[in-house]
């Protein structure tokens, strides 16, 4: 959080550091805060440091002071900042987002390579990973899908019909690049699977001979409760289907995700400092509410399965925690 009083600017970061928060300074001495470093670049501010997990930074006429809001806990930084949320020109958690995504693509090419004629990306968040894949595979990268920047993010739209229409407006295939080609399509993630199925269909209708999906993250199997409005677990396609079932569902010729172990190996000694709850369901802080995630248009998403556990459009969450002294279930390294 960042907020102001009559004479103070105050920045606070949660004790696990789930979301990033950085501090910078303009040439006139003004202190500024932002969620990622690219925002500092826009206003010609120089990056100074991250706000530490559990820290309160107070800026007033006397200068800058730092308070420890809560005792130090092992950081659990959101890995999805590097996969999707942050812009590639930013440095998040001390790492270049561009470099992370490029390496994700290289790993996919090394571990899940396939014979192809061209590599394309689902813009914009899949572009850097696709560049990494193409460079490692020695295959040309082309803009086979063109994105309109006048349409917002489709995966959070409330209605499936709105999401479907948004996909058609948002992406347009380039037939000259795709026709008669074996195409590798690199995307950052698969959430519900509906967008991916429409992209595959769109590329095949443009004349592609083969479509191979490569996803620059592990399968998303659990909801996020730390600031991201992801769907309920019942709506997440990787929580309901195997990789082969997803491949059949979205209609591509092959499908591969970034291996979870490969992701952690890439992060090296920093690996324990990241939150992987969306991949593992192993939550560093358990949700406290009894009912935690709303199911939007579950049936309209075209997924099969029982919805008996859905009552009144809410999914039952973990039982409430009575003891405030222990809110943490440690993640395995």
Contact at 8 Å (CB) between 192 and 164?
Answer: no
Both tokens of 143, joined, read: 């803009």
Q: Residue 260: count other Cβ atoms within 10 Å of its Cβ.
A: 14
CA 128, CA 188: separation in Å to the nearest integer? 10
Low-confidence ranges of the chain (pLDDT < 50): 154-159, 290-291, 295-333
- DSSP alpha helix (H) spans, the chain: 37-42, 80, 97-112, 127-137, 160-170, 175-178, 194-205, 237-240, 243-250, 260-267, 277-280
- DSSP annotation of 67 reads E
**pLDDT value of residue 152:** 53
**pLDDT value of residue 318:** 47
Distance of CA 261 to the CA centre of its chain: 17
Contact at 8 Å (CB) between 298 and 233?
Answer: no
């Amino acid at each position: 959080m960042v907020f102001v009083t009559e004479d103070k600017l105050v920045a606070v970061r949660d004790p696990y550091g789930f979301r990033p928060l950085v501090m910078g300074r303009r040439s006139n001495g003004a202190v500024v805060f932002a969620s990622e470093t690219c925002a500092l670049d826009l206003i010609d501010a120089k990056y100074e440091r991250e706000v530490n997990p559990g820290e309160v930074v107070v800026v007033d006429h006397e200068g800058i002071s730092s308070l420890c809001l809560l005792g130090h806990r092992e950081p659990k930084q959101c890995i999805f900042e590097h996969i999707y949320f942050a812009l590639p020109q930013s440095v998040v958690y001390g790492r270049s987002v561009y470099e992370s995504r490029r390496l994700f693509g290289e790993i996919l090419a090394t571990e899940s390579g396939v014979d192809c004629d061209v590599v394309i990306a689902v813009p914009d968040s899949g572009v850097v990973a696709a560049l990494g894949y193409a460079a490692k595979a020695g295959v040309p990268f082309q803009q086979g899908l063109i994105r309109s920047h006048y349409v917002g993010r489709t995966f959070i739209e409330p209605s499936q019909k709105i999401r479907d229409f948004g996909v058609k407006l948002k992406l347009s295939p380039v037939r000259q690049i795709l026709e008669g080609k074996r195409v590798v399509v690199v995307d950052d993630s698969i959430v519900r699977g509906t967008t991916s199925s429409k992209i595959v269909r769109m590329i095949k209708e443009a004349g592609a001979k083969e479509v191979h999906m490569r996803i620059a993250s592990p399968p998303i199997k659990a909801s996020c409760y730390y600031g991201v409005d992801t769907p309920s677990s019942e709506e997440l396609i990787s929580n309901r289907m195997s990789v082969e079932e997803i491949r059949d569902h979205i209609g591509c010729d092959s499908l591969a995700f970034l291996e979870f172990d490969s992701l952690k190996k890439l992060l090296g000694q920093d690996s324990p400092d990241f939150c992987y709850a969306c991949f593992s369901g192993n939550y560093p802080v358990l949700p406290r509410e009894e009912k935690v995630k709303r199911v939007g248009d579950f049936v309209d998403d075209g997924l099969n399965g029982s919805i008996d556990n859905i009552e009144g459009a809410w999914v039952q969450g973990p039982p409430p925690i009575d003891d405030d002294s222990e809110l943490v279930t440690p993640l395995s390294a």
